[in-house]
């Protein structure tokens, strides 16, 4: 069964890059443009992994992560934060909220796949 990955980022560019990164793998990518839409998508889709931006309008990634971890139905979903803000304080803050890993922007698709592969079993699509 295909893995379901939820990409939450206000940048369409990043959502397209995430989708492209997993193209060769047996994954379904769902998208949301902010934390509020991301929470709704997480409740609806029950993804196997969330790839979450930090700075977004409406609801930022840190707030969404906190709400996800407060929800008994969603708190087990692993989250990888994708952030342009990788200061030590930021990284500490998101670690405390139970994030599984983080990736600082700029990033290479291989780095994202490597991090994701440590959290969920990525299987290449049959040729």
Partner 1 sequence: MNTTIPNLIDEVSDLLNIGVSEVFRTMLTLEAKPAAVLHDWHASGETLVAGSVGFIGDVNGVVYVHVTAGFARKLASRMLGLAEAELEGDEMVNDVIGELSNMIVGNVKSRLCDSGAPCVLTIPSIVRGQNFKIEPVHSCERRLLAFRCDADHIMVELLMKHST
Binding site for partner 1 (CB under 8 A): 10-14, 16-17, 20, 55, 57, 83-90, 104-108
- Residue with smaller CB distance to partner 1, 88 or 126: 88
- Residue with smaller CB distance to partner 1, 3 or 62: 62
Q: H or E segment at 115? A: helix 109-119
Find the shortest distance in angstroms from Cβ 110 to partner 1.
11
Find the shortest distance in angstroms from Cβ 15 to partner 1.
10
Confirm if 80 and 119 have CB atoms less than 8 A apart. Answer: yes
Find the shortest distance in angstroms from Cβ 33 to partner 1.
11
Q: Cα 58 to chain center, whole Å?
A: 17
- Residue with smaller CB distance to partner 1, 74 or 91: 91
CA 104 to each of CA 1, 45, 113, 123: distance values in angstroms, whole numbers, following the listed order: 30, 26, 14, 24
- Residue with smaller CB distance to partner 1, 59 or 74: 59
Find the shortest distance in angstroms from Cβ 105 to partner 1.
5
User: Quick one: which of 95, 69, 68, 71 has its CA closest to 81?
Assistant: 95
């Amino acid at each position: 069964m295909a893995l379901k990955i939820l990409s939450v980022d206000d940048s369409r560019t990043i959502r397209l890059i995430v989708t492209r990164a997993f193209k060769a793998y047996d994954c379904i990518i769902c998208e949301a443009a902010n934390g509020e839409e991301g929470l709704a998508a997480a409740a609806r889709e029950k993804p196997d992994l969330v790839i979450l931006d930090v700075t977004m309008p409406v609801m930022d990634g840190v707030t969404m992560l906190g709400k996800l971890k407060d929800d008994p139905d969603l708190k087990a979903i692993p989250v990888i934060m994708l952030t342009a803000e990788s200061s030590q304080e930021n990284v500490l803050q998101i670690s405390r909220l139970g994030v599984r890993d983080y990736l600082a922007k700029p990033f290479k698709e291989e780095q994202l796949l490597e991090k994701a592969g440590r959290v969920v079993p990525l299987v290449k699509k049959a040729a």
